[in-house]
Structure 1
Amino acid sequence: MPREIDPAISQRAFVLSALKDHRLRVDGRGMQEARTPELIFGDEMGWVECRFGKTRVIAQVSGTIVRPRADRPYEGLLNIHSEISPMASSVYDSGRPSEEEVVITRMLEKVLKKSDALDRESLCIVAGQQVWSIRLTLHFLSDEGNMLDCACLAGVAALKHFRRPEVEVIGEEVIIHDPSERAPMPLSMHHTPICVSLAFFEESAHPILDPTRLETQLASSILAISVTNTASPSPTLCVLQLAGGMPLSTEELTSCIGMAVARARVVGAFLERRLADDWSQRSVRVEVH
């Protein structure tokens, strides 16, 4: 009687063999070829759905007026919350944060907060008394790999898409203008951070860009790179995080950063085009009405 072969082992051998011998990926992409992102904007400002293939993340931004922190009286607040729905994958449980969710949230905290992507001083209304508190909520709807890059793009797009009411301070009085009276204000951003993830395999000398879920599971290490100021001649490295036990040489890291810079420029330009297109469509609808 022939010996039965575990489908998972067979699939792993096929994927790794294709990467090693032929530099091919299961979905037909090249080694440094990323999936084409999609951005879908909702009717509400600050609501964005981002798709990387079948990976889907929804980002939503809201703002409320609160008292500032005592040690930072001139700064507003940015809070990031995430939730991976069980519908994203059967490995996630409802009501209990998974390890991947914690890792993604911590990475986004570094990318968006610690890099000062959002100008928090511009959120101050009355120093020491009233500031804007911006809440970014991420809902992970489908996990087909590389949720970090998808979530980062969704979050940045939602922050740049969001508009807050204009606030005027007259003496001791703070007036919040209705959007019908005065046009809402965009958030002030210092730069546009873009996340780029690469997967490394011991069986292959070349990393792959934008790994799928299966490739992530089989990878020896995952390198996440965040690049800021993507439109400038000299982009700035924001965050570099390596997960896994495969060591990388200085030359390999330099090469990966170069790939991340090139990818971030493409994604950053795509983001600005989509934001401009959405704003143009909204302006046309307003004129028609």
Structure 2
Amino acid sequence: MPREVELSRNERDFILQALGENIRLDGRKFDAFRDLDLSFGDEYGAADVKLGKTRVLARVSADVTAPFADRKFDGVFSISTEFSPMASPAFEVGRQTDAEIILSRILEKAIRRSGALDTESLCIVAGSKCFTVRADVHILDHDGGLIDASCIAVIAALQHFRRPDVSVEGEKVTVYSPREREPVPLSLLHHPLCVTFSYYNGGETMVVDATMAEEQVREGEIIITMNKFGELCQIAKYGGEAIDPVAVLQCTNVALAKVQALAKYISGRLEEDAKRRDAGGLMAELSAENER
């Protein structure tokens, strides 16, 4: 069965000893993220996130379908994950790993169940037609921090995405192309982001955004999901050693500062992309036609 390359005993002891001396192998502080790079594709809804050597691509799409029978006034929103074998030796096509199952559950609870996307705004004709929005998460390179990077990618892609505009006349629904009408942004109620804490030495040592090597020697992890307003959406702990509740409270304070910084960074990148599109996009083309 494929699996990750395991660290030797000497490597494990070296990492743990360094953490015990308040040193990380890459020189970061315990509460520091790796270098984050967020870029958007030419199409709306494609977000490429690089967190250190970890790389995640999220792509959002929308189709017109029928709503669920018990949710006639709501659209449909789903998140799917795909682990590419080129990202890690442990990933195999057609076989879900524990990491993929946990990632799917965390994203489901953090984004969909927290009501980040207003599904009522996706309704076109009650009980008949609605938008089905789907976020596909592709893991391209794995060096730790998959949950944090994937959540950033999905939230950024949802903010960047534009669905087609529609008009309704009786039972007739007209879906307009981007050239006919300007696409419409999704209605997001809040922007939850995940911060993963790995702990060592019985919870005395806590680090943010652990690398693959640090993840292999940790005693457990805590995933905290918050938005920039300090609203706690989720605290997840899958196994591992027990941890003091006071340490969890300290993690929430650190997570709030990190989430606010991440939200500000995402907003800045979205503004840069909007300026780039305005400079040479459809509006510039229409202006040129009007001048002629």
What is the CA distance between 1:243 and its match in structure 2?
2.3
Which residue of 1 is the match for residue 193 of structure 2?
194
Deviations 1:71-120 (A, max 9, x none): 11000011111111111111111221111011101110001111000000
- The 5 A counterparts of 1:54-65 are 54-65=53-64
Which residue of 2 is the match for residue 247 of structure 1?
242
TM-score after normalising by structure 1: 0.94
Deviations 1:53-80 (A, max 9, x none): 1000000011001111111100001111
Task: Provide the rounded CA distance (Å) in 1 between the counterparts of 2:100 and 2:126.
Answer: 35
- The 5 A counterparts of 1:91-130 are 91-130=90-129
Which residue of 2 is the match for residue 18 of structure 1?
18
Deviations 1:135-164 (A, max 9, x none): 110110100001000000001111111101
Indicate if the aligned counterparts of 1:16 and 1:203 stay in contact, CA closer than 8 A.
Answer: no
Indicate if the aligned counterparts of 1:220 and 1:244 stay in contact, CA closer than 8 A.
Answer: no
2:271 pairs with one of 267, 273, 276 = 276
- Confirm or deny that 1:50 pairs with 2:45: no
Task: Provide the rounded CA distance (Å) in 1 between the counterparts of 2:252 and 2:223.
Answer: 10
Which residue of 2 is the match for residue 144 of structure 1?
143
Letter of the structure 2 residue corresponding to residue 13 of structure 1: D
Task: Provide the rounded CA distance (Å) in 2 between the counterparts of 1:34 and 1:7.
Answer: 23
Indicate if the aligned counterparts of 2:202 and 2:241 stay in contact, CA closer than 8 A.
Answer: no
Indicate if the aligned counterparts of 2:7 and 2:213 stay in contact, CA closer than 8 A.
Answer: no
What is the CA distance between 1:34 and its match in structure 2?
1.1
Task: Provide the rounded CA distance (Å) in 2 between the counterparts of 1:54 and 1:93.
Answer: 20
TM-score after normalising by structure 2: 0.93
What is the CA distance between 1:245 and its match in structure 2?
2.6
User: SS at 1:207's partner residue?
Assistant: strand
Task: Provide the rounded CA distance (Å) in 2 between the counterparts of 1:203 and 1:236.
Answer: 28
Which residue of 1 is the match for residue 289 of structure 2?
none
1:263 pairs with one of 258, 263, 266 = 258
Task: Provide the rounded CA distance (Å) in 2 between the counterparts of 1:18 and 1:25.
Answer: 6
Q: Residue 114 and residue 221 in structure 1: after superposition, are their counterparts in 2 closer, same or farther (change >3 A)? A: same
Which residue of 2 is the match for residue 86 of structure 1?
85
Which residue of 1 is the match for residue 178 of structure 2?
179
Indicate if the aligned counterparts of 1:197 and 1:224 stay in contact, CA closer than 8 A.
Answer: yes
Task: Provide the rounded CA distance (Å) in 1 between the counterparts of 2:240 and 2:133.
Answer: 37
Q: Residue 7 and residue 211 in structure 1: after superposition, are their counterparts in 2 closer, same or farther (change >3 A)? A: closer
Task: Provide the rounded CA distance (Å) in 1 between the counterparts of 2:95 and 2:173.
Answer: 40
Aligned residues: 279
Letter of the structure 2 residue corresponding to residue 76 of structure 1: G
Aligned-residue RMSD, C-alpha: 1.3
Letter of the structure 2 residue corresponding to residue 279 of structure 1: A
Indicate if the aligned counterparts of 1:196 and 1:260 stay in contact, CA closer than 8 A.
Answer: yes
Moved over 6 A (4+): none
Gapped regions of structure 2 (runs ≥ 5):
1-5, 286-292
What is the CA distance between 1:51 and its match in structure 2?
0.8
What is the CA distance between 1:204 and its match in structure 2?
6.6
- Confirm or deny that 1:38 pairs with 2:37: yes
User: SS at 1:244's partner residue?
Assistant: coil
Which residue of 1 is the match for residue 69 of structure 2?
70
